Chain A
Amino acid sequence: MSSATSRAVRALLTDAVEAYRGLPEEAGLQDVLDRWDDPLRVAFAGRVKAGKSTLLNALVGERLAATDATECTRIVTSYVNGPATRAWAYPFGGEPVQVPFLRAGGQTRIELGAMEADGIAQLVVETPNRRLERLTLIDTPGIGSARREVSARTDAFLLDDGSGADAVLYLMRHLHTADVGFLQSMSDEHDAGVSPVNAVGVLSRADEIAGGREDSLEVAARIAQTYSADPRVRSLVQTVVSVSGLLALASTGLQERQHAAVVALADAPTSLLLSADRLLDALPDRGPSREVRAELLEVLGLFGVRLCVSLVRLGSAGDAATLAAALRRLSGLDDVRALLLERFVARAGVLKMRRAVRTVEAALAARPVPTAGALRRRVEEVLAAAHELVELRLLDDLRTGELELGDDAAALDAERLLGVDGDAPHERLGLDEAVPDEDVRAAAIEALRRWHRRAASPLATPDLRRTAELVARSCEGIVAGLPATTLP
């Protein structure tokens, strides 16, 4: 990300705010400008009970968001890094009010006092947490609730509200028509646009996917792969990974006494693990006490308890730390973290610029002000100078079918070169990290030639030619960015 482009976009935004002073579009533009230096805002969206709060907690490594068996998150809540743990409520059209943030028994609670939940636009929780330094995480109530007002809040936040998100983690338990419809309406209506460029799908609650069968996690990973290859899904999100939020969260705070309880269970008859009810109440004189069993169930879920017992029986979890490590590895948390880093944090600057440019464009389309012509030219200039933004737009078009190459292999090649799997040269070229520089250079030059050929082919359709020219430019960028070597 060149700082020159960033400055240019910021200047454009400032001028746009000036041009729309006093008009309805001003607030949205001003908001993007105000948050220019803030961390990237990533929202957790999805159907109710998809496990959004659980995954959020797992990612920050502590129990910040309240979780419960029934629908729990009722208000959009942002979690930001700050000097102390505090919470603010933002009433509609009012000044923020600090509210008590309480922790009790591993759960958290925000005391709204006399305020009505309906009157609060959103909550902001501030806490010192290293993982929130570069990302602000936003928990949403979710869609598809039988309580209509809960769904409406999520819609309002993600679709209409100017203070939306730069990127979205979309959690789904299984692909559902409500999911697809929701993502589609987001990508169409929202100014900043949720698209394959800034949205990632997460198959959450992986431990439950096959009805809690032993191979649930593997099955979930397989389903995630199938979804990632489905064109319908690809036109909505970059990729889909599977994760068990519950196991991931459990792995972040597993205690020795919980490990001891698992060991005790491993010695008890297997019939204890047949159902949650049995685990709680059967054979009260064998194994751990009821309180400990209840705690285990809450922390791990039945599948998690079974998994831990198997790990202990296999002898691969001698203490709490090893067990926690095994759980984290199996849960898929590391994949989600890596995804967040590669796809969002590493491209925070360009994602923000993209949102800024799109917000300006949307304002121009909605209300042509006297200076619209000049602003439009500025947008063109910015885009011409910032190939990163062009790459994102091209990726979008390829995924959503706006551009049709008619050649799947070429499309995949183009997406990778445009940086869909990561920004580093070896990632763009699909090479191993350990590959020596000269091989990277050779591969980059080969890719450049390949795309030049495609652009020059007399058989190329207009779509293919346009794509090929832009991809070739990306290849040039890769070559130019490599450390200089002496050519033989």
Chain B
Amino acid sequence: MGADVDHVLAAIARAAARHDRPDLLERVELARARLADPACRVVVCGEFKKGKSSLVNALLGARVCATDADVATAIPTYVRHGERLEAHVLQEESPGSARGSAVPAPEVDTVATGHGGPAARALEIRLPRELLAGGLVLVDTPGISGGLASSHAGVALRALAVADVLVFVTDASAELGAAEIEFLAQAAALCPVVVGAVTRIDLYPQWRRILAADTEHLTAAGLDVDLLPLSAPLRHHGLRDRDRELLLESGYPQLTARLVAEHERVSGSGGAAAAAVGAGVVGQLVAEVTAQRRALDADAASQEQRQAWARAREQAADLRSAGSRWQQVLFDRMADVGAEVELDLTVRIRSLRREAAERVAQMPPARLAADLGPWLQQRTTELLLDHQSVVRAQADQVADAVAEQFGSAARDLRRGLDLGTDESGPVRDVAFAPAGAQSVSRLDMGLVALRGGSAGAMITHAAGLVLGLAFPVVLPAALVLSTVLAGKSWQSAQKAQLRALRADTDRAVAAYLEEVDIAARKDTRDAVRRLQRRLRETFSARAAELFTTANRSVESLSTSLTGDDEARAVRRAELDAELDALRSLQREVGAVLAARLPVAA
């Protein structure tokens, strides 16, 4: 998986080094490094007590996650490959964050169920398993009860923001409920692939009918989710007795196969992206060597080519300069986006603030104490999700616009150049510059590459997982409000006391929303800034490469005319051989890429 890509990329890297192009070499090496670490995050979500941790355990055939009947997972648990079994506390929720103290085996459950102290924000468990060896990471999340109103929904959504695959867990005891459907709809917008796991089919003779009812609910909600029936006890029995039939009945081999396939898809799309980089690099090398070879012929055609390359060099120099059109488009559009997304956030928070103030002023006191926390939590979660989708849509549009602008300039630049290639098939589009096209909101780079989506979206995704837009970490609303609401005798309070209590509550809500505002605004600004830097760097590097290629072509076309005939004959033979080698590389990478791209519709 990816070995053929790496092989051809290595050859291209050698060619780039041979031709003294450190810029191109760096790009290929970067692509190779990304290819070598094909992480695929599988996040396991679901309402609590549906068997999420049991599913992770059964999948791995080991008891790594706490499964108790009445205590539940409270912090995310990352399970990844390691030489031996070990557990560590993580100081931040994200998987790559600093590792804290090691957790001895008997205490893993205590930490996972949230009793490991405030410093333990996540748990990382490593163990030697073939399934994990390829970079697959399983993430067990706290159960979300009551959908988006749950204070754990934030943890789950944060985990989802960086997920490649979501495994949504429900059980065969009952049909999917309203809260589950609501959560799935939100999750499907964040995560490209959703697999539904229906657990405990061993217990319920009617599981096939439940499965059918679930499918019906999903279809009605417009969700594209495959459902896999599973049974953890059958899996464990099957593993213990080495009973193949039981294992098949447990459904886990099917789930494993699905995850492996998804993992391959993720790394496969990574392979396509890497191959595209290789094709681009080799295209530039071919163009440069072709120019050198042309120079040796010293005929009218080469004279023409020299002029053409000189024009191309001017255009490339222009592309490279700060005043170029694409830079302007980038600058203008980013300024607009920055203002627009901030306004979006301001408007959303202000309207929620108003809504909350009305609620605080008008709701019956007893209801207020009970319902305000969950309500605020749910509305805040929805607000942030909506806001983030606006940011993503805007980012995609800017990236598309810039790519379009750069692409059309690059196409002008290529016109009239002999690039030494017949330019056909998918190779052409990626060979020199990305072709901007229709916008695609799905940010998964692999998917975009595979589905032939826009180049802009490929870049916004590569800019950091989903723009680095995670879910802001703020205290649960209920916790913030409890300081005001708890222990107050609302019903027995006098009118004046009630007014004071309402005012206190209103202030607490305002403070909470301010905290949400600050956290979300910082996230959004960072995302916009990262996007701008990423776009500038990406296209500047591409412009610099183009300039180098054009510059060296012009130079070789003007200088190779000197020297004696014999030396020129030797050189000609050398260049022909080199050109053959490069063309064969180009065909090779083209084939590798074509194999990974879907057949054009």
The segment from B155-163, B197-205, B541-549, B562-570 that touches chain A is: B197-205
* Residue on A nearest B174 in the bound complex, by CB: A49
Please provide the chain B residues from 59 to 81 with a CB less than 8 Å away from any CB of chain A in the complex.
Answer: 69-70
Decide yes or no: A177 and B145 within 8 Å by CB, A144-B179, A146-B180, A402-B492 being known contacts: yes
List residues of chain B with CB within 8 A of the CB of A69. 204, 206, 209-210
Chain B residues positioned under 8 Å from A211 (CB to CB): 51, 54, 69, 200, 203, 232-233
Q: Are A47 and B177 in contact (CB under 8 A)?
A: yes
* B204 in contact with A223 (CB, 8 Å): no
The range of chain A's interface size is: 35 or more
Residue from B145, B202, B491 with most neighbouring chain A CB atoms (10 Å): B202
Tell whether, in the assembled complex, residue A146 and residue B145 are in contact, meaning their CB atoms are under 8 Å apart: no
Chain A residues within an 8 Å CB radius of B207:
276
Q: Is the CB of A276 within 8 A of B203?
A: yes
Do A181 and B176 touch across chains, with their CB atoms under 8 A apart? no
In the complex the two chains form, is A174's CB within 8 Å of B178's CB? no
- Chain B residue at minimum C-beta to C-beta distance from A277: B249
Q: With a CB–CB cut-off of 8 A, which chain B residues contact A274?
A: 202, 233-234, 237, 246
Partner of B370, one of A178, A184, A277, A294: A184
Measured CA separation A402–B237 after assembly (Å): 53
Chain B count of residues within 8 A CB distance of the other chain: 51
Expressed in whole angstroms, the Cα–Cα distance for A223 and B70 within the complex equals 6
By the criterion CB–CB under 8 Å, are B173 and A188 in contact?
no
- Contact among A49, A174, A276 with B49 in the assembled complex (CB-CB below 8 Å): A174
Q: Are B489 and A402 in contact (CB under 8 A)?
A: yes
Name the one of B48, B203, B217 contacting A146, with C-beta atoms under 8 angstroms. B217
Q: Does A301 contact B (CB under 8 A)?
A: yes
Which segment of A15-23, A88-96, A102-110, A202-210 sits at the interface? A202-210
Is the CB–CB distance between B202 and A188 below 8 Å? no
Which B residues are CB-close (under 8 A) to A146? 175-178, 180-181, 217, 220-221
- Tell me, rounded to whole Å, the shortest Cβ–Cβ distance linking B54 to chain A: 7
Q: Are A226 and B70 in contact (CB under 8 A)?
A: yes
Does B181 contact A280, Cβ atoms closer than 8 Å?
no
B366 interface hit (Cβ, 8 Å): yes
Tell me, rounded to whole Å, the shortest Cβ–Cβ distance linking B477 to chain A: 13
Residues on B with C-beta less than 8 A from A278 are: 249
| Best-buried of A48, A71, A274 by chain B (most CB within 10 Å) | A274
Which chain A residues (198-247) contact chain B, with CB distance < 8 Å? 205, 208-213, 216, 219-220, 222-223, 226
> Is A401 on the interface with B (CB-CB < 8 A)?
yes
Closest chain A CB from B273 CB (angstroms): 39
The answer to whether B367 and A177 have CB atoms under 8 Å apart is: no
Interface residue A145 (Cβ < 8 Å from any Cβ of B)? yes
| List of 6 A-B pairs having minimum Cβ-Cβ separation, nearest first | A177-B146, A69-B206, A275-B202, A49-B174, A276-B205, A210-B69
17 A-B residue contacts at CB 8 Å?
A48-B177, A70-B206, A176-B47, A177-B374, A178-B146, A188-B367, A211-B54, A211-B203, A216-B69, A220-B69, A223-B70, A274-B246, A280-B205, A298-B205, A401-B487, A404-B487, A404-B489
Interface residues of A (CB under 8 A from B): 47-49, 69-71, 144-146, 148, 151, 173-174, 176-178, 181, 184-185, 187-189, 205, 208-213, 216, 219-220, 222-223, 226, 274-280, 294, 297-298, 301-303, 400-404, 463
**Residues of B with Cβ closer than 8 Å to A?**
47-49, 51, 54, 69-70, 145-146, 149-150, 173-181, 200-207, 209-210, 213, 217, 220-221, 231-234, 237, 246, 249, 364, 366-367, 370-371, 374, 487, 489, 491-492
Q: Apart from A70-B209, A226-B70, list 17 A-B contacts with CB within 8 A.
A: A48-B174, A69-B204, A69-B206, A146-B175, A146-B176, A146-B180, A178-B177, A184-B371, A187-B366, A222-B70, A274-B233, A276-B202, A278-B249, A280-B205, A402-B491, A402-B492, A404-B487
